[in-house]
Homo-oligomer: A and B are copies of this chain.
Amino acid sequence: MEKMRIIEVKESVFANNDAQAEKLRNELKAQKTFLLNLMSGPGAGKTTTLMRTIEALKNDFNIGVMEADIDSAVDAEKIQTTGVRTIQLHTGGMCHLDADMTKQGLLELNTQGLDLVVLENVGNLVCPAEFDTGAAKNVMILSVPEGHDKPLKYPLIFTVCDALIINKIDVLPYFDFDMEKVVEYAHMRNPNLKIFPVCAKTGEGIPQWTQWLASQVRSWQS
């Protein structure tokens, strides 16, 4: 296996992240590359969900992946086995990526010819939600073991996301997780949030999620 490229992205010098993000989004729109910002707490299953997503969509789209972490390259090495263009970003201890850090990553990844780039953000329900990365859409994963009260405790991330993937539904019998309540709480934060219950391990629910994502990419490109 090719050695994983690890890029150290530097904290941004731009005061106005929103303006940088808007600029990046317009550039990506012009070159028909859809950037998905994927967020979750630690261990919610971003990488496994992403492996399934790539498997489902790699015949339809050219896909690239940027794995952001504080340390290690374990996620990027897993993603690399799918055959898509992948780099590992290290944030130098930072808990999130902003638009300029995302752009540094995209330049290293080389987005030419890519329809869909997934940024797997640092595992954190707080800080990543505060920074627009320039993504076309923001998606978060909440896993069943984390509990259904998370929209009450971490309001912003549910507000800024376009879709919520509820992962690890295979372990619902072993946890006190109320699916009706989580949907109610999440929609309280964001009435337009699309919700996809899935099990990334078994593939259950993945087609509904990937069909939605594919339609978003196509509409971005048209």
Chain A residues with CB under 8 Å of chain B are 41-43, 69-72, 74-75, 93, 95, 122-127, 130, 143, 145-147, 149-150, 152-156, 168, 170-171, 174-175
Q: Please, how many angstroms separate the alpha-carbon atoms of A170 and B174 in the complex?
A: 9
Say yes or no: A42 contacts B125, CB within 8 Å: yes
Choose from B74, B123, B145, B155 the contact partner of A145 (Cβ within 8 Å).
B145
Say yes or no: B154 contacts A42, CB within 8 Å: yes
Q: Please, how many angstroms separate the alpha-carbon atoms of A168 and B175 in the complex?
A: 10
* Residues from chain B with Cβ under 8 Å of A127 in the complex: 95, 124, 126-127
* Residues from chain B with Cβ under 8 Å of A70 in the complex: 126, 153-156
Say yes or no: B42 contacts A150, CB within 8 Å: yes
Given A70-B154, A72-B153: A43 in contact with B126 (beta carbons within 8 A): no
Q: Taking the full assembly, how many copies of this chain does it contain? A: 2
Choose from B42, B72, B155, B156 the contact partner of A41 (Cβ within 8 Å).
B42
- Which of A71, A145, A146 has the most B CB atoms < 10 Å from its CB? A145
Q: Please, how many angstroms separate the alpha-carbon atoms of A146 and B21 in the complex?
A: 31
* Residues from chain B with Cβ under 8 Å of A95 in the complex: 95, 124, 126-127
* Residues from chain B with Cβ under 8 Å of A155 in the complex: 70-71
Say yes or no: A69 contacts B126, CB within 8 Å: no
Q: Please, how many angstroms separate the alpha-carbon atoms of A9 and B130 in the complex?
A: 19
- Which of A74, A143, A149, A154 has the most B CB atoms < 10 Å from its CB? A154
24 A-B contact pairs sorted by A residue (CB < 8 Å): A41-B41, A42-B125, A42-B146, A42-B150, A43-B147, A70-B126, A71-B154, A71-B155, A72-B152, A74-B153, A75-B153, A93-B156, A123-B154, A124-B125, A124-B126, A124-B127, A126-B127, A127-B127, A143-B145, A145-B145, A145-B146, A145-B171, A170-B174, A171-B171
